[in-house]
Structure 1
């Protein structure tokens, strides 16, 4: 009797070619043709980070994986008093042969030594009954790669400091970075990177700041340095066997832009285009340009920066306006439903929102409180809807509309550093609880409106907010939500999320966006002609 093994490692493990060979095997003593040894496994488990497949490849069709050790542990289970392990290299030469006794729990294991990197290996286990042993396991396979890759980082947009090259981009603009790596064994799987920070600790080749390597070990990614001056990009490489390099620092200079884009309400990253802010499934906050052609975010804000530190999913987000404590880009407000606080993240870093938040105040002056109107709440806990209308005064600080106890309230300049804060009850009709508020912002002609969706019917209505001769605004149209003009129908079951970041396509009119029930992001021309950008992360 004989068994044939090997034959396919050469195609998957580089130069480690495996040849077919025949090995003489004593007559089997197991019944029904079954092996007396089962569950052969190598530790660590052979696999590939690029494919995510980890397998011992104990057949003639499965692609073998890689092990990041030259001394792996080989294990199996048997009812025999012992077992014999044999290992062959890709040329068919036996490099290991050892018999061990069976442990009380039925396991057997060995640790072969002297294995060579970059080489594919086959191995089998026989039950050891003495003379006339039994049927072995099928041949299992793996490759060995215990050395991390090598790589270089480069960018023509932001050349490395000291290279003598002139940057082609400015701070606040997106640059392309290229990483080139080599790995003599399993090949480069991915690169992990962070700008002006510390690489996160977690599963390799997963999460934000990760880019997959191509077959030639090269990868490109884009970053936007938000601070002018010296920046440090930190990169590390991971190969398919799981070997991780030491972090490499790439230092570059980002000059200040002498001609920055014009300020645009709704823009958080300083490119002059409004942005859509939506969480991904992992709880990170995605910043997606309102004129994007796909759902790929321009940047993300880590989940731990959200109120409570547990992610941005379920958090009410609003942005349209800023104060003069920083460059003209939207600040971010965040409210956890039912929470008593409204968190204000001032935008000092072009949408990274890496600084600490403050709490937005509701009253005018805590040292000289006014007479409070009936129904006024001391905190934000009853605010079921919140939207940022935008600037209503001379500055760019936003005003916030809320639905509380079914009524509509307006808070001017809540929590901002400059200007006076005011509040007023806009509607006492007690009917706003069944509506989703949407603030489209000002049109190019300066006109302002509020949109709302009736959650029962899906009807989208618009309400004009007109500016009086004295510069104040008239909110009379918001007295009753049923009186608005219907401009479309968007059933909640089909479009769970509706919003607007302002004029996304540059035609001077505000535009709607929506997230469908299957997490597709749609952008509209006004409220018509939807464009499907694809599935959100």
Structure 2
């Protein structure tokens, strides 16, 4: 049987049932089953705390848990048998009527296996209840285990959930935020962040979500969030594999300006002290030897660079890269660095659907040359990416492991496409 995929409480879950459909209740002719079942949990991937085992997988990895239910026979009757399990990782079980939505069906032997990605380093608790065919519910069983921190975690700029693969962040139809791996075979998210975690606590829809790089924690992207026209820019510190347990902080706007070469400049009169003029925003990539991100915006038709932020994304300077106002008609795409460390910027010309690429070479003194960004009409590399056909274009870096950055796109009918570079689109299917 193929695994069934479910998402529960913001944790990506792959469920492999030991059997198929739930069986018909077996109720004795001379008595009704009113005896509650019992449940136990075990795992070799994440051994129980106190078991003496020092092995096990690391936080951020997926482990298999065996759920075992037993249903004692009622006095004078026959046990109805274990029907399903309800479970929750690091949170409380929700109120549910028996084997409703989110329950995991049990096999004839009263067992089921569930594969859970464990995002939290340290002590974790998996809470499980068994439900029998008569509707009796067991007492919750708490399986406590310790997930070790990986001493050599995988690193990939663009990766949000800590698996070493760049991710695509897109809201679902309900406003929750989906993390979809660039190596995914379909649009099933690896995790879902509830809409209540959005800056407005209502929905992630409409927010720009640049991410490429991290500061001061394990190698997974911090995430910025900004709604065009909003004065506020929010910073989500990602030390917990994309679960974002901390509330976001507000990023202050720098008060000092520089020119394209980094020399001090009196801030222009139209330079605002908030983020309301930032129509677009992308994470360009690291501009030094650290994995820290840099931020690129379009404001009043010009490019502004906010380089090398400190811890918690503290910005100190704003660098004005262009002055012609010609970038107003372009959608920015940040592909990140290639295998040699060279940076680039891509952009879609909204009026024509042409895709442009601009090199940002590193100079002998260690700084980057942004002169190619002076003329956005240069460097056409592809055609046909019209706004009507592809409302959203983006790049999370190297999605297929060939050491070169790749494009992704969302079509007008909400299909997600991933590309090999800029060609060979693969349709992953309809977004949720």
Instruction: Indicate how the Cα distance of structure 1 residues 362 and 213 shifts in structure 2: closer, same or farther if over 3 A, else same.
Output: same
Q: Which position in structure 2 is the counterpart of 1:84?
A: none
Aligned-partner Cα distance in 2 for 1:303–1:186: 38
Note the C-alpha offset of 1:418: 7.5
| More contact order relative to length (CA 8 Å, sep ≥ 6) | 2
Q: Does residue 198 of structure 1 match 2:92?
A: yes
Note the C-alpha offset of 1:344: 0.6
The alignment partner of 1:433 has SS state of helix
Q: Does residue 250 of structure 1 match 2:261?
A: no
Note the C-alpha offset of 1:443: 0.2
Instruction: Report if aligned partners of 1:364, 1:370 keep a CA contact under 8 Å in 2.
Output: no
Aligned-partner Cα distance in 1 for 2:118–2:314: 31
Instruction: Report if aligned partners of 2:86, 2:128 keep a CA contact under 8 Å in 1.
Output: yes
* Structure 1 gap ranges (5+): 1-10, 18-89, 92-115, 119-145
Instruction: Report if aligned partners of 1:360, 1:416 keep a CA contact under 8 Å in 2.
Output: no
Q: Which position in structure 2 is the counterpart of 1:533?
A: 428
Instruction: Indicate how the Cα distance of structure 1 residues 393 and 13 shifts in structure 2: closer, same or farther if over 3 A, else same.
Output: closer
Q: Does residue 328 of structure 1 match 2:222?
A: no
In the TM superposition, 1:11-30 aligns within 5 A as 13-15=24-26
The correspondence for 1:220, drawn from 113, 118, 141, is 113
The correspondence for 1:363, drawn from 254, 270, 274, is 254
Instruction: Report if aligned partners of 1:294, 1:533 keep a CA contact under 8 Å in 2.
Output: yes
The alignment partner of 1:317 has SS state of coil
* Structure 2 gap ranges (5+): 1-21, 72-78, 258-263
Q: CA RMSD in A?
A: 3.2
Aligned-partner Cα distance in 1 for 2:213–2:416: 24
Q: Which position in structure 2 is the counterpart of 1:283?
A: 175
Note the C-alpha offset of 1:389: 0.3
Note the C-alpha offset of 1:419: 7.7
Instruction: Indicate how the Cα distance of structure 1 residues 192 and 521 shifts in structure 2: closer, same or farther if over 3 A, else same.
Output: farther
> Could you give the per-residue CA deviations for residues 460-496 of structure 1, whole angstroms, max 9, x where no partner exists?
2111112222222222222232223233432333322
Question: TM-score, with normalisation over the residues of structure 2?
Answer: 0.81
In the TM superposition, 1:129-148 aligns within 5 A as none
Instruction: Report if aligned partners of 2:84, 2:105 keep a CA contact under 8 Å in 1.
Output: yes
Q: Which position in structure 1 is the counterpart of 2:48?
A: 160
Note the C-alpha offset of 1:521: 2.2
Q: Does residue 295 of structure 1 match 2:295?
A: no
Q: Which position in structure 2 is the counterpart of 1:272?
A: 164
Instruction: Indicate how the Cα distance of structure 1 residues 411 and 185 shifts in structure 2: closer, same or farther if over 3 A, else same.
Output: same
Note the C-alpha offset of 1:188: 3.1
In the TM superposition, 1:96-135 aligns within 5 A as 117=32
Instruction: Report if aligned partners of 1:320, 1:390 keep a CA contact under 8 Å in 2.
Output: yes
Aligned-partner Cα distance in 2 for 1:188–1:489: 53
Q: Which position in structure 2 is the counterpart of 1:402?
A: 297
Note the C-alpha offset of 1:450: 0.8
Question: TM-score, with normalisation over the residues of structure 1?
Answer: 0.66
Note the C-alpha offset of 1:328: 2.5
Tell me the number of residue pairs that the alignment of Structure 1 and Structure 2 aligns: 397
Aligned-partner Cα distance in 2 for 1:502–1:156: 35
Note the C-alpha offset of 1:212: 3.3
Instruction: Indicate how the Cα distance of structure 1 residues 436 and 148 shifts in structure 2: closer, same or farther if over 3 A, else same.
Output: farther
Instruction: Indicate how the Cα distance of structure 1 residues 293 and 377 shifts in structure 2: closer, same or farther if over 3 A, else same.
Output: same
Aligned-partner Cα distance in 1 for 2:100–2:169: 22
**Which has a greater percent of strand?**
1
Q: Which position in structure 2 is the counterpart of 1:442?
A: 337
Aligned-partner Cα distance in 2 for 1:493–1:214: 47
Select the structure of larger CA radius of gyration: 1
Instruction: Indicate how the Cα distance of structure 1 residues 211 and 155 shifts in structure 2: closer, same or farther if over 3 A, else same.
Output: farther
Aligned-partner Cα distance in 2 for 1:264–1:466: 21
Q: Which position in structure 2 is the counterpart of 1:352?
A: 243
Instruction: Indicate how the Cα distance of structure 1 residues 397 and 215 shifts in structure 2: closer, same or farther if over 3 A, else same.
Output: same
Instruction: Indicate how the Cα distance of structure 1 residues 502 and 400 shifts in structure 2: closer, same or farther if over 3 A, else same.
Output: same
Instruction: Indicate how the Cα distance of structure 1 residues 327 and 515 shifts in structure 2: closer, same or farther if over 3 A, else same.
Output: same
Q: Which position in structure 1 is the counterpart of 2:350?
A: 455
Q: Which position in structure 2 is the counterpart of 1:465?
A: 360
